[in-house]
Copies of this chain bind each other. A is one copy, B any other.
Amino acid sequence: MSGRARVFIACSLDGFIAGPGDDLSWLPPPPVDADGKPVSDFGYAAFMAEVGALLMGRNTYEVVAGFGGEWPYGAKPVLVATTRPLAPVSPTVRAVTGDAATLLAAAREAAGDRDVYVDGGVLIRQLLAAGLIDEMIVSIIPIVLGAGAPLFAGLPERCALECLRAEHLPGGLVQVTYRPVSRA
C-alpha cells in the first residue's frame, strides 16, 4: 500500500503560515521546563518517523534552504515542485514538475511504504483541491497576524473536513487533525 499524503504545519489563528516577507519570527520556540529541557516537540518527531519523503513547494524550499546550518531533513528525499532551475542544498533534494497527481506519484515512489510530507501553502492547496491529501495536522498558534501567506485561503472550491482530534498543547497551541471528507 502506498503511503499517505500528510500535512504537518503551523498557522496563525487567522490562517497564515508566514507573515509578510516570509516572516516566521512569530513561530514560538519549543517550550522548555525550568531546567531548559524541551517539554514538547508538538509531535513533530513522531510524525517525521512515519515520513519517507517530502514534497515541498518552491517558496517553502527557499525559506528552509535559507536558514543555513544543518539540513533539517537528513537523508529523506525532498522533492521540490518547481518549473524553475534548482540548485539543491543537499544531494537528497531534487526538482519535480507536473500536475498534482504526477507530483504526488513521484513523492510516493521516493517514500517507499512510508508517508509523504506535503509542505507549503500553494502546494497544499493544489493537492487538496485535487482530492489528494489524506490527513492534515494543523497547529494553530495563538496569534493574529492580520496579513501574510495563507495556508488555505484561495482554495478554488470548498472542502469539507472531518476533525479526528484536537489537543491543547504547551504554549497555547491548538493542534487539530483533519481528514478531507472527499478522501474518507
Residue of B nearest to A28 (CB): B160
Judged by a CB distance under 8 angstroms, whether A50 is at the interface is: no
A161 to B145, CA, bound (A): 11
Of residues 135 through 184 on chain A, the ones whose CB sits less than 8 Å from some CB of chain B are: 138, 140, 142-147, 150-163, 165-168, 172-174, 176, 178
Residues in B with CB closer than 8 Å to A15 are 13-15, 153
Asked whether any CB of chain B lies closer than 8 Å to the CB of A10, the reply is no
Interface flag for A79 (CB, 8 Å): no
Number of interface residues of A (CB under 8 A): 38
State whether A176 and B174 are in contact (beta carbons under 8 Å apart), knowing that A147-B153, A161-B142 are contacts in the complex: yes
Q: Does A47 contact B (CB under 8 A)?
A: no
* Residue of B with least CB distance to A138: B13
Q: In whole Å, how far is A170's beta carbon from the nearest beta carbon of chain B?
A: 10
A residues with a Cβ closer than 8 A to B are 13-16, 19, 26, 128, 138, 140, 142-147, 150-163, 165-168, 172-174, 176, 178
The 10 A-B pairs at the shortest CB distance, nearest first, are namely A163-B172, A146-B155, A14-B152, A166-B168, A142-B161, A15-B15, A144-B159, A166-B174, A144-B152, A142-B163
